[in-house]
Amino acid sequence: MADQAGSSEHSALCLRLMQLFPRVTRGMRRWQDRAAPPPVPSPLSPRHVAALEQIRGGPLTVGELASRLDLSLPTVSGVLADLDRAGLVQRRPDPADRRRTIVQIIPGQATLIGNWLDGAAKPLARVLDKLTPGEQEAFLKAMDLLETELRRQDTDI
């Protein structure tokens, strides 16, 4: 009996989380879109935002960016083309190896993009601030485990 009750509670928790994830994602995207200053085109996809977040740490090769985002080179190239057209990033040949391309945020846009990305993360930061360091670690661990499980299932299909 106790095992069935535990299973039922587990199922209810899973259902609640499955209902929350899409709403949280939509809410974060709406917040991100509202926080976007000109000339940042709105709406940008999560891939565009993730790319900007990685690039703001400094210039990267397109291959390094693809690896960090776990995306194919053609997909990353498409994202970068959009960001380039929007006047947010610039691409140039790597002087050490002309076969590689380096991408960076246009220097005049760095502060604007940094402020926007920080502003877009404010709801998440406010929630994380309400958690203890141990709760934050548990939350991040759960998200990492979920991502790993979903990736594993992608390869099992």
pLDDT of residue 5: 52
Q: What is the mean pLDDT of the chain?
A: 87
| Torsion angle (degrees, nearest 10) of CA 41, 42, 46, 50 | 40
Percentage of the chain lying above the pLDDT 90 cut: 45
Looking at domain 36-120, which of 1.10.10.10, 3.40.50.620, 3.30.420.40, 3.90.1210.10 is its CATH number?
1.10.10.10
Enter the pTM of the model.
0.72
Percentage of the chain lying above the pLDDT 70 cut: 91
- From CA 47, how far away is CA 17, in angstroms rounded? 23
- From CA 62, how far away is CA 58, in angstroms rounded? 12
Question: pLDDT at residue 65 above 90?
Answer: yes
Question: pLDDT at residue 3 above 80?
Answer: no
Question: pLDDT at residue 2 above 60?
Answer: no
User: Which tens digit of pLDDT belongs to each residue from 29-58?
Assistant: 888 777 777 766 666 778 888 899 999 999
Question: Hey, which residues does 3 pair with through a beta bridge?
Answer: none
pLDDT of residue 1: 44
Domain ranges of the chain: 36-120, 121-157
User: Which tens digit of pLDDT belongs to each residue from 105-149?
Assistant: 999 889 988 888 888 888 989 999 999 999 999 999 999 999 888
- From CA 136, how far away is CA 60, in angstroms rounded? 29
Residue bearing the bigger pLDDT, 154 or 127: 127
pLDDT of residue 76: 94
Instruction: Write the CB contacts of 110 (distance below 8 Å, at least 6 apart in sequence).
Output: 56
